[in-house]
Chains A and B, each alone.
Chain A
Amino acid sequence: MSEAKARPTRRFDSVKVGDTLPPLSVPLSRTLIVATAIASRDYQDVHHDPTLAKERGSPDIFMNILTTNGFVGRFVTDWTGPEATLRKVDIRLGAPNYPGDEMTIEGSVTARDESNRTVEVSLRGRNRLGDHVTGKVVVALPA
Chain B
Amino acid sequence: MSTNEGKTAALEGEALMKVLESYAGTQDGAPGSCPYPVNDAMIHHWCDAIGDRNPAYLDRGFAESSSHGGIIAPPTMLQAWTMRGLRPPTPEEEAWAKEAGDRKSVLQVLDAAGFTSVVATNCEQEYFRELHPGDQLTHVVEIESVSPEKKTGLGVGHFVTQLYKFMDAEGAVVGTMRFRILKFRPPRAAD
A contact set with B: CB distance below 8 Å: 1-3, 6, 26, 32, 35-36, 38-43, 65-74, 77-78, 82-83, 85-93, 142
Contact = CB atoms under 8 A, between A and B. Distances in A.
Contacts of B68: 83, 85
Contacts of A40: 46, 77, 79-80, 83
6 smallest CB-CB distances across A and B, nearest first, come from: A41-B83, A73-B76, A2-B61, A39-B49, A69-B76, A35-B49
Interface of B: 42, 45-46, 48-52, 54-56, 58-62, 66-68, 74-77, 79-80, 83-86, 119-127, 130
B159 to A, nearest CB: 12
B54 A82 contact: yes
A6 B68 CA distance: 14
B36 to A, nearest CB: 11
B122 A92 contact: yes
B70 to A, nearest CB: 13
Contacts of A32: 49
Contacts of A67: 49-50
Nearest to B46: A39
A110 B42 CA distance: 33
B28 to A, nearest CB: 17
Main secondary structure of the interface of A (DSSP, over half): mixed
Given A77-B54, A82-B55, A66 B120 contact: no
A93 B76 contact: no
Given A82-B62, A87-B127, A91-B124, A3 B55 contact: yes
A69 B123 CA distance: 9
A89 B50 contact: no
Given A2-B55, A40-B77, A91 B122 contact: yes
Given A82-B66, A83-B56, A73 B74 contact: yes
Residue of A40, A42, A93 most packed against chain B (CB within 10 A): A40
B93 to A, nearest CB: 16
7 contacts: A3-B55, A3-B59, A3-B62, A38-B45, A41-B80, A82-B62, A92-B121
B127 A66 contact: no
Given A2-B59, A82-B55, A69 B49 contact: no
B62 A88 contact: no
B56 A82 contact: yes
Contacts of B79: 40, 66, 69
